[in-house]
């Protein structure tokens, strides 16, 4: 299995631009999580989906952030417009019924907003 | 705010010594998990302990859970330089109906450095 696949690995953009982060969960997993990691705030849960349905998006910072999961094998996290304070590492993670509730993380997307 | 809070924030030891990290949390949980993160990488699951368990072992790892004190500890015995990483506890408060597919909330982590 290829694991959780995130793209791009690195993203550098200018303030005001739209940023789209992508995630392919492990095949067969039915829960998907988006986290953001910074030195100041640690790992913050932004949103998670069960069976493609958003369950809790209370961690999404503001309306500039949106996440979708159109099918079981793909999710996007979009920031529009981006701001320098959005600079962070964004992780996607998935888990399934057979994985004993543990999360499998992708390698993350390092986002820098200039 | 973070559900789990690790203590200490940083720990520096020599190879062969034991490393103990603690985690405290605020609300009831279904299970508690420990993860490891090497610099620049994603987190990797280490061990899970359920709310009705008190202690669990996996190789050189030993985890304890005290639900009355809302705390957990992770012990790494006979540490190696390769154990150098950040360690996070994560709490799963469940999702109702007896399932645990709720959100996993992570603490700030403990940075462990093991000197050869």
My answer on whether omega of the bond before B68 falls inside 30° of 0, hence cis, is no
Minimal Cβ distance to A42: which of B2, B92, B101: B2
Q: Is A31 on the interface with B (CB under 8 A)?
A: yes
pLDDT above 90 (res A100):
no
pLDDT above 50 (res B20):
yes
Using CA atoms, how far residue A33 sits from A2, B44, B52, B71, B90, in Å, is 18, 14, 26, 25, 13
- Tell me what the mean pLDDT of segment A102-106 comes to: 94
**CA–centroid distance for A51 within its chain:** 16
Distance from C-alpha of B24 to C-alpha of B72, rounded to nearest angstrom: 6
Q: Which residues of B touch A109 (CB under 8 A)?
A: none
CB pair distance less than 8 Å for B95 and A55: yes
* pLDDT range class, residue B98, cuts 50, 70, 90: very low
Burial zone of A62 (CB within 10 Å; 0-12 exposed, 13-18 middle, 19+ buried): exposed
Distance from C-alpha of B99 to C-alpha of B97, rounded to nearest angstrom: 6
Q: What would the pLDDT profile of B22-60 be if each residue is shown by its tens digit?
A: 999 988 888 999 999 999 899 999 999 999 999 999 999
**E-assigned strand segments in chain B:** 5-7, 10-14, 19-24, 31-37, 43-50, 55-58, 61-66, 71-76, 85-92, 104-106, 110-115
User: What pLDDT does residue B95 have?
Assistant: 58
Nearest CA distance, A59 vs chain B (angstrom):
10
Distance from C-alpha of B53 to C-alpha of B1, rounded to nearest angstrom: 26
Q: What would the pLDDT profile of A13-50 be if each residue is shown by its tens digit?
A: 999 999 999 999 999 999 999 999 998 888 999 999 99
Residue B85 — φ and ψ, nearest 5°? 180, 180
Distance from C-alpha of A90 to C-alpha of B52, rounded to nearest angstrom: 33
User: What pLDDT does residue B5 have?
Assistant: 78
* pLDDT range class, residue B102, cuts 50, 70, 90: low
Distance from C-alpha of A46 to C-alpha of A77, rounded to nearest angstrom: 10
Distance from C-alpha of A34 to C-alpha of A26, rounded to nearest angstrom: 14
Using CA atoms, how far residue B91 sits from A64, A82, B101, B107, B116, in Å, is 28, 30, 11, 9, 32
- Tell me what the mean pLDDT of segment B93-104 comes to: 59
CB pair distance less than 8 Å for B42 and A107: yes
The answer for B 14-43 residues in CB contact with A (under 8 A) is: 31, 33, 35, 41-43
Distance from C-alpha of B110 to C-alpha of B112, rounded to nearest angstrom: 6
Using CA atoms, how far residue B7 sits from A10, A95, B106, in Å, is 31, 27, 13
Residue A72 — φ and ψ, nearest 5°? -70, -10
Residues in chain B: 116
Nearest chain B residue (CA) to A100: B48
């Amino acid at each position: 299995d290829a694991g959780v696949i995130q793209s791009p690995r690195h993203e550098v953009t200018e303030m005001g631009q739209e940023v789209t982060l992508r995630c392919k969960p492990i095949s067969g997993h039915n829960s998907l999580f988006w986290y953001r990691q910074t030195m100041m705030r640690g790992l913050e849960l932004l949103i998670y989906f069960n069976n493609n349905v958003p369950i809790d998006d209370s961690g999404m910072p503001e309306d500039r952030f949106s996440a979708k999961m159109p099918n079981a094998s793909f999710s996007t996290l979009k920031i529009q417009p981006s701001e320098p304070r959005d600079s962070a590492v964004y992780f996607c993670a998935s888990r399934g019924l057979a994985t004993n509730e543990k999360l499998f993380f992708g390698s993350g997307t390092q986002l820098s907003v200039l | 705010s973070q559900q789990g809070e690790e203590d200490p924030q940083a720990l520096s030891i020599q190879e062969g010594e034991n490393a103990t990290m603690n985690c405290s949390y605020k609300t009831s949980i279904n299970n508690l998990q420990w993860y490891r993160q090497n610099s620049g990488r994603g987190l990797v699951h280490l061990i899970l302990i359920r709310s009705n368990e008190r202690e669990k072992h996996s190789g050189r790892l030993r985890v304890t859970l005290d639900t009355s004190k809302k705390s957990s500890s992770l012990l790494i015995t006979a540490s190696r330089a390769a154990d150098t990483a950040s360690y996070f506890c994560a709490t799963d408060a469940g999702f109702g109906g007896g399932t645990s597919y709720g959100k996993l909330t992570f603490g700030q982590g403990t940075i462990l450095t093991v000197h050869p």
